[in-house]
Amino acid sequence: MQGNPRGEREVQPDPAGSVPTGVYIHVPFCRKRCPYCAFVLVESDGSLHEQFAGKVCGQIERVGPGARTLYFGGGTPSLLSPGQLDRIIRAVGGAPEEITVECNPEGLHLDGLCDIGVDRITLGIQALEDGLLRFLGREHDAQGARRAYREASRLFENICVDLIFGIPGQTPAGWRRTLEEVRSWRPAHVSLYGLTYEAGTPFGRIRERLPEEAERAMYETAMEELSDYHHYEISNFALPGFESKHNRAYWEGRPYLGFGPGAHSFDGRTRWQNVSNVRDWMDREDVVLSRETLTPEQVRIERLLLGLRQDVGVEMERIPEGLEPFLERSEGRVRLTRAGRCVADSVIAKLV
């Protein structure tokens, strides 16, 4: 990507014209940074929350995006007060079909969210074994995770449970028990992520990692245990009708606008990114760090990458020789088979 020598503003014309678009708000605050986390955030005592909400509202109001969907990610967006979230929701305007707020089990505060229009939450459960949660640096324990889900389920029908697999010390039997218990809760949505070891994080220095074969087996176990869910994207499983509308728009290549430090925007051809340093973002008037206009070939590759992550697949004249075990034709399109989902990155690499 090229830099932003002209100091262009974050605020851009609505990328879809008058058509509602996806709006993402990156809330860069957490009570504590987990050792595997490389997201843009700061450990927060709440002193910056009001300033953050005010700045986001001002930027949104200059655009008037008319959100089709609205997603508060982070960080821990639920650290903002209902009043601060409500101000942002009102600034976005429109009539969003879905408003999501990411939450963590520790310090969970849900009072007032339904009243301001939030209809979907994600819970960062991550694991249901105390030893694994301590290893991940999480503040909650397994009982805390269970309490948080029970509390959330009294208020929300549309709950996504986030889980991590491939954690050192995690056993196949323990992972299966976690999946069985989560399935018994019957959440509307489950998202699964393999543990990553990002450079610059404490976990980036860990060398004793689970072998790829073990992670692949855990993913296969998840597909088995969640077989009565709609496996609509490689990492995502939903009860019918509860697929994430906001995230699906990303995978379909639709335009979106991102506000907050490190957030990205896309107008269908050009992508731009905000500065990632939280203080810089707070202090600067012009916060776009870089932009990139995609070539037709880049657009083609992105559509292929994102399309094959989904169960709907992509248009493809023929399945390349040697990839028959990993790709299948369905309703005139080509998609990953069950075996292909386990090695999706290598399959896609051979196609591009």
Same domain, yes or no: 25 and 155: yes
Give the residue carrying structure tokens 């450079």: 199
* Residue at 12 is within a domain: no
Residue 63 sits in a domain whose CATH number is 3.20.20.70
Parallel, antiparallel or unpaired: strands 29-30 and 42-43: parallel
Same domain, yes or no: 129 and 190: yes
Same domain, yes or no: 94 and 158: yes
CA-wise closest residue to 137 among 161, 111, 106: 106
On the 0-12 / 13-18 / 19+ scale of CB atoms within 10 A, 192 is buried
What contacts 118, CB < 8 A, 6 or more positions away?
85, 99, 100, 101
Instruction: State the total domains in the chain.
Output: 2
Measured N-to-C along each axis, helices 212-225 and 172-185 cross at an angle, to the nearest 10 degrees, of: 30
Same domain, yes or no: 166 and 233: yes
CA distance readout (Å), 254 to 23, 50, 68, 135, 191: 11, 31, 11, 37, 21
Same domain, yes or no: 177 and 236: yes
* Residue at 305 is within a domain: yes
- 84: which 2 tokens? 């601060």
* Residue at 289 is within a domain: no
Same domain, yes or no: 205 and 302: no
CA-wise closest residue to 42 among 304, 278, 323, 282: 278
pLDDT per residue, tens digit, the chain (352 aa), is 333 322 333 434 344 444 568 999 999 999 999 999 999 999 999 999 999 999 999 999 888 778 999 999 999 999 999 999 999 999 998 789 999 999 999 989 899 999 999 999 999 999 999 999 999 999 999 999 999 999 999 999 999 999 999 999 999 999 999 999 999 999 999 999 999 999 999 999 998 899 999 999 999 999 999 999 999 999 999 999 999 999 999 999 999 999 999 999 999 899 999 999 999 999 999 999 999 999 999 999 999 999 999 999 999 989 999 999 999 998 889 999 999 999 999 999 999 8
* Residue at 242 is within a domain: yes
Same domain, yes or no: 78 and 213: yes
Same domain, yes or no: 232 and 311: no
- 153: which 2 tokens? 């389920």
Same domain, yes or no: 189 and 86: yes
- Domain end among 190, 223, 251: 251
For 119, left (φ over 0), alpha (ψ -120 to 50), or beta? alpha
* Residue at 148 is within a domain: yes
Same domain, yes or no: 119 and 216: yes
Q: Which residues, listed in sequence order, are joined to residue 288 by a DSSP beta bridge?
A: 274
Same domain, yes or no: 94 and 156: yes
* Residue at 64 is within a domain: yes
- 247: which 2 tokens? 């995230």
* Structural domain that includes position 219: 21-251
Same domain, yes or no: 112 and 166: yes
